[in-house]
Amino acid sequence: MTASGRTTPWLLSAPALALFAALLLTPLAMTFLLSFNSFSFYGGIENTFGPENYIEVLSDLYFYEIFGRTFLIAFITTAICAVLGLPEAYILFRMKPAWRSFMLLVVLGPLLISVVVRTLGWAILLGNKGVINEFLRDIGLITSPIRMMYTSTGIVVALVHVMIPFMILAVWAALQRQDPATERAAESLGAAPLTVFMRIVLPQAMPGVLSGSLIVFSLSASAFATPAVLGGRRIKVVSTTVYDEFLNTLNWPLGAAIAMLLLVSVLTIMIAWNKLVERRYSGVFE
């Protein structure tokens, strides 16, 4: 290969690489460096270098609770998205073409609306004087409102709404790759509809569910708008904690350390998950 032949691909990807470096790697590197600086209430950020912030986070149970809550919320959101999204994608997949494109639009439509707007919508529904509580009280089912705002449950509900299109898209892609004749083959061999779904469709859709889970989990774990609006001060997750450290306490180095820990833990979980999936399905799917 000639020298120019070797450099051409690099030249062609240079603009994208430059953008990538400028907008992602640089801030990331700076955040990383920032997380080793120290902060004092009177002196502000000092340009020292040491692991104090990490030690502070890792030795304080308060932060463990926040991380634990974040991952629990992300995990439950992912599980609900998988359980709801898989049948939903399958039903969509089996619809008549005209209906299908319409319903797909309905499912993906929410993606066109800002997360903040959608979350505020949930706040209107879930509040103590919100639509749901007012309704339940009016029909006499409850006397005092059920608390749904500022709870993990509320956050999960809203996150599922935000995230489920991603799951459906991922499962949809997997369903589309599968040969529709496999279902008929199973049927001709005597399988009842539920058996066909459980034994033939589900296993073939599994790679889609798993990659969808990866997307939903990482987006949920780092989601900001939804927990910020629906969790408020009371139910803190990692991203809102970072936000508070930066903008309220002004302890940027500590915020940076928490952000780095979030990044590393999400990455670790994702890579482990991916490895698991690859090992499980290596013989079966390309």
Partner 1 sequence: MMDQPAFNHGQTMAFLELQALNKRYNAVVAVEDFNLSIQRGEFVSLLGPSGCGKTTTLQMIAGFTQPTSGSIMLNGRDLGAIPARKRGLGIVFQTYALFPHMTVEQNVGFGLEMRNVPSHERRRRVSDALDLVHLSHLGDRFPRHMSGGQRQRVALARALVIEPELLLLDEPLSNLDAKLREEMQLELRRIQQEAGVTTLLVTHDQSEAMALSDRVAVMQSGRLIQEDSPFDVYEKPATSFISTFLGKTNSLPALLERAGKRTQIVIDDVRLAGPQTVLANGPVELSLRPERIELTDIDKATLSGDVIERVFLGDHWLFRVETPIGKLLVMQRNLGRRGAEIGERLHLFWEPEAMRLLPRGDVS
* Residues found near partner 1 in the complex (CB under 8 A): 178-179, 181-182, 184-192, 195, 199-200, 203-204, 206, 281, 283-286
Looking at the Cβ atoms of 97 and 283, the one nearer to partner 1 is: 283
- Is residue 205 within 8 Å of 178, Cβ to Cβ? yes
Residue 279 tokens, joined: 């090992």
**In the complex, least distance from residue 207 CB atom to partner 1, rounded to whole angstroms:** 10
Looking at the Cβ atoms of 27 and 180, the one nearer to partner 1 is: 180
**In the complex, least distance from residue 91 CB atom to partner 1, rounded to whole angstroms:** 20
Looking at the Cβ atoms of 66 and 82, the one nearer to partner 1 is: 82
Within the chain, where are the H helices?
3-20, 26-34, 52-58, 61-94, 97-108, 115-126, 131-138, 152-177, 181-188, 193-195, 202-221, 225-231, 238-247, 252-281
Looking at the Cβ atoms of 138 and 286, the one nearer to partner 1 is: 286
Distance of CA 150 to the CA centre of its chain: 19
**In the complex, least distance from residue 180 CB atom to partner 1, rounded to whole angstroms:** 8
Residues forming a β-bridge with 81? none
Q: Parallel, antiparallel, or unpaired for β 44-46 and 38-40? A: antiparallel
**In the complex, least distance from residue 173 CB atom to partner 1, rounded to whole angstroms:** 15
**In the complex, least distance from residue 200 CB atom to partner 1, rounded to whole angstroms:** 6
Q: What's the first-to-final CA gap in the chain, in angstroms? A: 30
Gap between the Cα atoms of 285 and 281, Å rounded: 6
Looking at the Cβ atoms of 16 and 181, the one nearer to partner 1 is: 181
